[in-house]
């Protein structure tokens, strides 16, 4: 009944997207480049020093330095450095007249590189990369004027791809005037071994075309036809050897036509007939193809 469940629910691999978004939020929430952090810093500086040149340092309660800020004529200029409480550099970024400019890097408490990015006129521009603590690439994306533009890829800590999306000017596959939640193209997700797990085709934000899932060995697991977000056409499921297990027929999102199940030996074992979502009959077969039993719905008195 796997295909039927997919038609009833949302077949997108949300767990991957949620995991990726949560990861990015965690990475960026406490990043030194956070706009909210920047405002807090600037607010403190304005209270402490209205103008002039010099370096302002902030310290942890244990006496170790927390942050260094360079001011020229009252504005942030040069490299700002932030440190972990253990004294290890947490991040550094360059400012020019109070705006982030050039390369910026973040680090873990053990000194390993955590992220690297580039800014132009206070906006992300160029390649953004984040890393796991073991040094493996976690995310790679491209920005133009603060917007995602191009392919964004998320990876497991072992280097295997999780999922990737394509952006144009901050929007997912902006074609035919689609917006962020109205994408066109194929969304793909992957197993940890790098093999393709699913292909979900979209048109104007709705699933349209052949939605496919795969086993970890690469064999096709299910294939279901969609149109305008609803199952429409043939749906099939296969075992890991490629043998057909079941086949369904849909029309406008409901079962319509034969629903067939096959034995391990490959012969038709059972057939259920539907019409516009309503059960019509159920037939059972033997290995010779002969009908052994037919069941019809009981009519109410």
pLDDT in tens, 269-301: 899 998 988 888 888 888 888 877 777 765 655
∠ CA 253-255-260, rounded to 5°:
140
- How much is the pLDDT for 10? 41
- How much is the pLDDT for 237? 93
In whole angstroms, give the CA distance from residue 264 to residue 113. Answer: 52
Please write the tens of the pLDDT for every residue from 224-245.
Answer: 999 988 899 999 999 998 999 9
- How much is the pLDDT for 209? 92
- How much is the pLDDT for 48? 52
Categorize the per-residue pLDDT at 173 as very low, low, confident or very high, splitting at 50, 70 and 90: low
Please write the tens of the pLDDT for every residue from 132-162.
Answer: 888 999 999 999 998 888 888 888 877 877 7
Q: Is 16 exposed, middle or buried (0-12, 13-18, 19+ CB in 10 A)?
A: middle
The DSSP bridge partners found for residue 214 are 220
- Structural contact between residues 154 and 163, judged by C-beta atoms closer than 8 angstroms: yes
- Give pTM, 2 decimals: 0.49
- How much is the pLDDT for 180? 36
Q: Mean pLDDT throughout 12-22?
A: 40
CB 132: neighbour CB atoms within 10 A? 18
Pairing mode of beta strands 209-214, 171-172: unpaired
- Can you read off the two tokens belonging to residue 261? 């199940």
Between 15-29, 47-61, 166-180, 203-217, the lowest mean confidence (pLDDT) is in 15-29
Arithmetic mean of pLDDT over the chain: 78
Closest listed residue to residue 79, CA positions, set 87, 71, 281: 71
Please write the tens of the pLDDT for every residue from 19-67.
Answer: 344 433 433 334 444 444 454 455 455 545 555 677 778 888 888 888 8
CB 280: neighbour CB atoms within 10 A? 13
- How much is the pLDDT for 183? 60
The DSSP bridge partners found for residue 254 are 251
- Structural contact between residues 128 and 141, judged by C-beta atoms closer than 8 angstroms: yes
Contacts 24+ apart (CB under 8 A), 57-60: 60/85
């Amino acid at each position: 009944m796997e295909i039927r469940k997919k038609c009833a629910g949302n077949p997108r691999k949300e767990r991957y997207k949620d995991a990726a978004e949560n990861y990015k939020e965690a990475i960026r929430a406490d990043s030194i480049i956070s706009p909210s952090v920047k405002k807090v810093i600037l607010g403190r500086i304005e209270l402490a020093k209205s103008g002039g040149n010099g370096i302002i340092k902030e310290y942890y309660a244990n006496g170790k330095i927390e942050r260094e800020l360079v001011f020229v004529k009252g504005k942030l200029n040069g490299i700002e450095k932030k440190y972990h409480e253990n004294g290890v550099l947490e991040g550094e970024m360059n400012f020019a007249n109070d705006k982030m400019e050039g390369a910026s890097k973040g680090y873990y408490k053990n000194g390993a590189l955590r992220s690297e990015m580039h800014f132009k006129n206070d906006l992300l521009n160029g390649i953004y990369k984040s890393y796991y603590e073991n040094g493996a690439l976690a995310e790679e994306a491209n920005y133009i004027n603060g917007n995602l533009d191009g392919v964004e890829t998320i990876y497991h800590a072992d280097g295997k791809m999780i999922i990737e999306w394509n952006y144009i000017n901050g929007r997912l596959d902006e074609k035919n005037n689609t917006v962020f939640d109205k994408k066109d193209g194929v969304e793909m997700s992957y197993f940890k071994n790098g093999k393709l797990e699913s292909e979900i085709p979209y048109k104007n934000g709705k699933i349209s075309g052949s939605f496919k899932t795969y086993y970890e060995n690469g064999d096709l697991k299910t294939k279901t036809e969609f149109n305008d977000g609803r199952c429409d056409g043939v749906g099939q499921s296969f075992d890991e050897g490629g043998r057909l297990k079941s086949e369904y027929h849909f029309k406008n999102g409901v079962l319509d036509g034969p629903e067939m199940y096959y034995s391990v030996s490959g012969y038709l074992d059972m057939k259920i007939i539907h019409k516009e979502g309503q059960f019509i009959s159920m037939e059972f077969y033997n290995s010779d193809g002969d009908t052994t039993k037919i069941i019809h719905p009981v009519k109410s008195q």
